[in-house]
Amino acid sequence: MTTSEPLVGQESKIAIRELDHRASDGIEVRLLWNAETRDVLVSVVERDGAGFEFQVPPTDALDAFHHPYAYAAYGDHYYTPLAA
């Protein structure tokens, strides 16, 4: 058995944890934390399924969560579009 194969009966750990979530006018915003990498992400999904996500410094997490469109437009970071 190689180390990449899971052991029988062993549960896999979920690395991404949702810290906060809000929904309004068909838009869902999530604040996520990757326990393995310690990255903080903001994910935005619109009612048509389109959206985007981006990484934020922990110090900016709540501001980006409350204002994701402004942060995505003016922040100095890379964001990933999500397919509809």
Could you report the per-residue pLDDT of 39-81, keeping only the tens digit for each? 999 999 999 998 899 999 999 999 999 999 888 877 665 566 6
Q: Which amino acid is at 50?
A: A
Prediction pTM value? 0.74
**How is residue 59 annotated by DSSP?**
G
**How is residue 84 annotated by DSSP?**
-
Residues sharing a CB contact under 8 Å with residue 41, sequence separation 6 or more, in sequence order: 16, 31, 32, 33, 34, 53, 54, 55, 56
pLDDT at 26 over 50: yes
Tell me if 75 sits within 8 A of 64, measured CB to CB. yes
Least confident segment among 10-14, 22-26, 34-38: 10-14
